[in-house]
Structure 1
């Protein structure tokens, strides 16, 4: 199997896993609409994905799957964080502010990075997608092909996050109205609530 074929396979799988409405994507979309710390946050998400993908390809997924205590702790922490952010989103929707799509009322850089950090490393779905799934499927490749597979998946993350963060500004005319921000925050709140609930259900089912 050629290196290009392996890289393309990794990129396609990586893209299929991250191009979905999730915690990271919802947060990056919102920050992109605000044009607030977009480059730093997109770079952070992409590098974090690349790090986790590399860990999975290197075999960390096998070790994580053998530690039920660690999985339970991360799952509970992730569910709690997602539920808390859902509450904040619903509160913003209940009392919307006249936010401008370019600039004001965003988080400080420190707060934005901290939030992004939590969305990334307190979300078990991230580990399932990058470390476990991508990592386990990389076992079908060997040597340079395995590295190419991981690199392809990492490149997909970079393309997606920067495309989402900077492409969000195309929606700014829509978000010139406070009502649009209310709808977005309701959607974000629902997504975060469903993700938190799914984690708790999986934990209860022993998954």
Structure 2
């Protein structure tokens, strides 16, 4: 039955998206700090980009990065700068009143940031290509549709579930705790950005050797 391929894709999708990384950190921070409507906009946009990346990896876009080395290093350079900038913004943000916390970011700003934490990460593209490409090669044409549908469903369920859980416990956070979360999240994101920058400077294939979680 084809449903088993859907379930397989669902399980592997959860395994792929669950590890703490830039996407999860950004969604958690948004769920704590933003108004409800902006939170779910952020979640929806993150899901959209995550699914688009999954589909692209399933079709083998990572091979393009590996084939054209200049494209790989362009992504590394601008990705490093963009990710570090996002981390710094989180660290220096200081909420004045937790009950009135609202990042007041424009929708286009949210779109750009979600795109950055998802697509400006060559390791995620390469890992995703190897991860999904391997399964695609072993599946029939029809089975592959069920598999990737399950994979995409996992992204939808994971980020929505993460947002809902964090929002439910949001009132347990006070202003001081939120500030600490911003600092921790920002520091981790800067760490990812610095690793991207190191891979760019080293220029020795470190993008494949150093693991940068999605």
- The interval holding the TM-score normalised by the smaller chain is 0.7 to 0.9
What is the alpha-carbon root mean square deviation over aligned residues?
Answer: 2.2
In 2: Cα distance, 1:195 partner to 1:135 partner: 25
Moved more, 129-138 or 62-71: 129-138
**Are residues 1:41 and 2:39 paired?**
no
Give the equivalent residue in structure 1 for 2:87.
Answer: 86
Given the superposition, is the C-alpha separation of residues 30 and 6 from structure 1 closer, same or farther in structure 2, using an over 3 Å criterion? same
Q: Please report how far the alpha carbon of residue 132 of structure 1 lies from its aligned counterpart in structure 2 after TM superposition.
A: 4.3
Give the equivalent residue in structure 2 for 1:192.
Answer: 189
User: Are 1:14 and 1:157, in contact at CA under 8 Å, matched by a contact in 2?
Assistant: yes
Give the equivalent residue in structure 1 for 2:15.
Answer: 16
Q: Please report how far the alpha carbon of residue 100 of structure 1 lies from its aligned counterpart in structure 2 after TM superposition.
A: 2.9
Give the equivalent residue in structure 2 for 1:206.
Answer: 205
Tell me which of 117, 120, 128 is aligned to 2:118.
120
In 2: Cα distance, 1:47 partner to 1:130 partner: 16
Q: Please report how far the alpha carbon of residue 88 of structure 1 lies from its aligned counterpart in structure 2 after TM superposition.
A: 1.6
In 1: Cα distance, 2:47 partner to 2:64 partner: 23
Give the equivalent residue in structure 2 for 1:168.
Answer: 166
- Structure 1: where are the runs of 5+ without partners? none
Give the equivalent residue in structure 2 for 1:25.
Answer: 24
TM-score where L is the length of structure 2? 0.83
TM-score where L is the length of structure 1? 0.85
Aligned length in residues: 202
User: Are 1:15 and 1:157, in contact at CA under 8 Å, matched by a contact in 2?
Assistant: yes
- Structure 2: where are the runs of 5+ without partners? 207-214
Deviations 1:174-206 (A, max 9, x none): 22x211111111111221122113223444241
Given the superposition, is the C-alpha separation of residues 194 and 38 from structure 1 closer, same or farther in structure 2, using an over 3 Å criterion? same
